[in-house]
Amino acid sequence: MDKNGDLIFDLDEAQDIHENAVDMLKRAIGVDVLTTFADVTVEDLADKNTTTKTDDLERLERTVYNSLGISRNLFNTDSNLALSYSVLNDEGVFRPLLLQLATFYDIITRGISSATKSTGRKSNQYTFRLYMLETTQYNYKDLAKMFKEHVQIGYSKILPQVALGYS
């Protein structure tokens, strides 16, 4: 439109321009809305009363995670609390695998120790059992402290050392 508000193109020319633009961009990734000729303004729909700064990239990232139906704090944390929950989620995912491996190797070591007992040799007086401690780089200090408290009431003295990484 010109400054008087009249169309520069006639309607047939405007329709041809629009159809050509649609044909060129119909396979373009990320194009949802197309305007061919007109003054376009972006309206800010954010609340003017808030004082928080909005970041377009952060809004885009939040939109992607929301469209997938997952929390964006699952992999990208904003706070220490979110990080600790993310670590607990990771540990919770791998805990069943750890328990399955521990059971598998425990069955193997028990089979070896029971087979050597049946030979009747004197050196076969020990029975072995395999157990994997659920220590990670995030919880080993807490586990070592808990195991130390257990030592004070009569539990194994080896567990705090293992939790701290000693062999």
Residue 116 has which token pair?
A: 């050597």
Assess if residue 85 is contained within a domain: no
pLDDT tens per residue, range 58-91 = 778 778 878 877 777 666 666 667 777 777 788 8
Higher pLDDT pick, 40 / 11: 11
Considering the entire predicted model, what is its pTM? 0.41
Mean pLDDT of the chain: 77
For range 110-127, the mean pLDDT: 63
C-alpha distances in Å from residue 159, one per residue of 58, 92, 126, 150, 154: 45, 22, 20, 9, 12
User: Domain span at residue 165?
Assistant: 133-167
Strand, coil or helix: 36: coil
How high is the pLDDT of residue 36?
A: 61
Assess if residue 120 is contained within a domain: no
Assess if residue 121 is contained within a domain: no
Assess if residue 33 is contained within a domain: yes
Assess if residue 4 is contained within a domain: yes
pLDDT above 70 covers a percentage of the chain that reads 74
How high is the pLDDT of residue 166?
A: 80
Assess if residue 93 is contained within a domain: no
Assess if residue 160 is contained within a domain: yes
Assess if residue 31 is contained within a domain: yes
Give the chain's domain count.
Answer: 2
